[in-house]
Chain A
Amino acid sequence: MPTNPDLARTQRWLQNFIVEPGTDEQALASESVKNEYAGDVSQMVVPSRTLTSAERVGVYRGMYLLRMEEALTTDYPVLKSFLGDEVFFELISRYVERYPSRSHSLNFLGRSLPKFIGESTDLADREFLRDLAAFELAIAEVFDEEQTPVLSPEEIAKVPEQAWETARLQPIAALRLCKFDYPVSMFKEAYRDDEGFPEVLPGNQWLAIHRRDYRVYWTTLDEPGYDLLGLLVKGGVLGEAIESICLKYEGQVGDVEIFTWFQDWVSQGLFQSLETG
């Protein structure tokens, strides 16, 4: 093996040493590290007066997972609080091994965490944790979404009555509609209010997570409202969407419910424009 390795080899060696799971000794002995340089680490990195060569590289290894944890804590504070520091750290250590950062920004590091949790068969309350993580991810995405105009009640009032049947509504960019198998917002609210977490019990929850005046809110919907809003944000024609929901939920949904939902959604600023005809 060369004692004067080229730059590419040097970088692959150091990176593999840093990200390899396990102890420093295990990382040094790993195939990924040995493939780049199999000689003594002191031939790559000189020791200092106070640290061995391996310890010097170990400084970077130690900081790597701490930095990943810090980034993921920003996006998933409730998940971390629920799991506890130790379990969360173990989870994210396995997560970044599977999904290391491939972006210039740490903002994107946690995008696959809900999926990873869903695939982690050894996690207790896996489905709940997946839903909780998905809720926190939606909040993070809404926070960073582009700012788009908001359709005001006054603009709505100007639309002629006959135009409503064929109108289409465009949602704001900072909106996510999510269905969960667990009442995840209760856990977020408990965390926010510094209260103990409720018991984990299944229960459907439909949420609209949205941003207004640069603050993120979540609104609990019932299933018919969620379905209708879902049709609208996908570009459905208003008249057809309403008819479809009234048919599906016959006896439960009528004009009063439709009007109330629509009034709420406009006041919450969920739409940016309305296209008629």
Chain B
Amino acid sequence: MASKTYAGKAVEVDNEGFLMNASDWTEEIAVEMAREVGINELKDGHWKVIHFMRKYFQDKGQIPTIRRIKNAGGVPTQEVYSLFPDGPAKKAAFIAGLGKPQGCV
């Protein structure tokens, strides 16, 4: 376990950099985390996915799959892939301050 500073706040992260505590997350932290994975600006589309993921995690205690994001969050698969290129599920969960997704789909 390690500590990292985002937006002036020290947070605990796992060995892959995912936040250990989803409650440490703020939008300012998300902006800096996004830059770290190559997304320089978080637009409305990104926020829609991020907020849906956090809400889902809060309600169900699970990180939503891409299928959930499509069917329950209303964001088409194509869009999720273009918003978070090169590994959308992992990248979006990272920026949303959640852990690494463990499922196969």
Q: Do A and B come from one complex?
A: no
Question: Which A positions have Cβ atoms within 8 angstroms of B?
Answer: none
